[in-house]
Amino acid sequence: MCDTLVTFTPKGMIFGKNSDRDPNEVQNLVQVPPQDHPQGETVKCTSIEIPQVSHTNGVLLSQPCWMWGAEIGVNEFGVAIGNEALFTKVPPLKENKYLLGMDLLRLGLERGKSAKEALDVIISLLEQFGQGGNCGFNHSLYYNNSYLIADKNEAYVLETVDRMWAWKRITTYWAISNGISLTKDYDAVSKDLIPFAVHKKWCKSADQFNFQKNYSAWFMTAMAKAHSRRACNFDCLVKFQAEIGLADVMTALRSHGDNDKKAEWNPLNSKLISVCAHASGLTSPSHTTNSMVIWIPATGPYAVFSTASSTVCTSVYKLLFAPGLNLPKEYKPGVKQAQLDAYWWKAEQFNRAAMNHYSELSKAYFTERNQFEQALIRKVLSHQLTQADLEESFTDANRLMDKYYARLKAQPLDKNAKKRQKFWQKFDAASGLAIYL
């Protein structure tokens, strides 16, 4: 499950997403430069090849290690996109002969110079090649997709069912959380979306059409807690509105709802899906495997904050990318098996220990981490970033993580963490990750 939000302020646009995937599914940051391509070239997406265009934009992607596409990304023109699973009455196509929603996200970034152009690219390719195939890592998972697509001027929410779609232009704020968010308030729909619903008797007439009501698969949407998670994000957006800041969005993406108010609560024992997702069993199988917050000012270059790791509540947002700069030189991508020289796995070692000792973290770590992030935000808002800023952010965040990892190893487990140790131990064993070294 995932949560994606966008909000516009007088000084710029903030875009954020938690990517919730299977535990152990490494998600890497990948920088792809702009490229020219010869006529007749094709591009191999996750499952199929499609014709390449003559030029592709430079992009930064948050990419699950096994696929071509991405969960979150931004291109050189400041277009940001996040996608999410949608569970609808129209069964998703299971054959691996279509584009994944994540492929469409990357294609939109590589081929669109504005949010509207990226929207049009995704719709065109969706209609031409369709969406489908296995989207899961530890287990098979099939779904349709929704998207938030934004630049500094405007945003679009695009929600799709097979090759059908509807979209709405956004100029204030919006959030999506694995449920159809559009009802009657769309700006455009594909020609067959409404007639198909009438034909299936999901609505009596075109005048009565309601996208959310007529197409949602209610059981899966309810199991995903789509409405409560979206409401949680909307509460944050409505509360702050134009005064919202980067730190507020980071806080929203770390939310566990009412559990954050409970003494001695531990995320390992959470049976309910929250914005900050923790895998704990059948009713909560997904885990946040990366989080990204993108600041796109009204004027000037954008900046990308990312945990580059799982478990947003225990991770640190680092300043990791800006136009004209590169990912920190010490950042190394990971593969399926645990390798501690890869950043995602190094951070995963800390994050799994941190969940075991969540109450200990609350004593000092959260305060120090939040102060670190607030200092980064002030830096982003006050001067033009350099490569040295990115390197320093990455190094200092690692130093903070190492400091508290050393402390946690000497502490007893939270009593509420012990109940779910067996659930997580199977993921440790499958990846070869040793939590305490």
Q: What is the 3-state secondary structure (H, E, C) of 354-407?
A: HHHCHHHHCCCHHHHHHHHHHHHHHHHHHCCCCHHHHHHHHHHHHHHHHHHHHH
CA atoms within 13 A on the CB side of 143: 24
Q: Which tokens go with 138?
A: 């530890």
- Cα 250–chain centre separation: 13
The Cα-based distances of 112 to 56, 87, 117 in angstroms read 9, 27, 5
CB count within 10 Å of CB 114 equals 16
> What pLDDT shows up at residue 423?
86
- Cα 344–chain centre separation: 15
Contact 355, 23 (CB under 8 A): no
CB contact burial 231-259 (16+ within 10 A = b; e otherwise): ebbbebbeebeeebbbebbbebbbbbbeb
User: Distance between CA atoms of 100 and 113, rounded to whole angstroms?
Assistant: 21
List of residues 6+ apart from 365 with CB closer than 8 A = 354, 404
CB contact burial 287-308 (16+ within 10 A = b; e otherwise): bbbbbbbbbbbeeeebbbbbbb
- Residue for token pair 């071509």: 68
Domain spans, the chain: 3-333
- DSSP letter for each residue of 150-172: E-SS-EEEEEEETTEEEEEEESS
User: Distance between CA atoms of 193 and 186, rounded to whole angstroms?
Assistant: 12
- DSSP letter for each residue of 220-260: HHHHTTHHHHHHHHHHHHHHHGGG--HHHHHHHHT--GGGG
Contact 211, 118 (CB under 8 A): no
| pLDDT values of the chain reduced to their tens digit, one per residue, 437 residues | 799 999 999 999 999 999 999 999 999 999 999 999 999 999 999 999 999 999 999 999 999 999 999 999 999 999 999 999 999 999 999 999 999 999 999 999 999 999 999 999 999 999 999 999 999 998 889 999 999 999 999 999 999 999 999 999 999 999 999 999 999 999 999 999 999 999 999 999 999 999 999 999 988 888 888 888 999 898 888 887 778 899 999 999 999 988 888 877 888 877 778 999 999 877 788 899 999 999 999 999 999 999 999 999 999 999 999 999 999 999 999 999 999 999 999 999 999 999 999 988 888 999 999 999 999 999 999 988 999 999 999 999 999 999 999 999 888 888 877 767 788 889 999 999 998 75
**Which region, left, alpha or beta, applies to residue 315 given φ > 0 means left and ψ of -120 to 50 means alpha?**
beta
The sign of the dihedral angle between the CA atoms of 102, 104, 107, 111 is negative
- Cα 34–chain centre separation: 23
φ/ψ of 420, rounded to 5, equals: -115, 15
Decide yes or no: CATH 3.30.360.10 for domain 3-333.
Answer: no
Q: 118 in helix, strand or coil? A: helix
Q: Which tokens go with 18?
A: 């938690």
Q: Which tokens go with 403?
A: 């400091």
Q: Please return the burial class of 191, using the count of CB atoms within 10 Å of its CB with bins 0-12, 13-18 and 19+.
A: exposed
Q: Which tokens go with 292?
A: 């990204």
Which ranges in 241-307 belong to alpha helices (H)? 246-253
Q: Which helix (H) or strand (E) holds 295?
A: strand 287-297
Active site residues: 2
> What pLDDT shows up at residue 437?
59
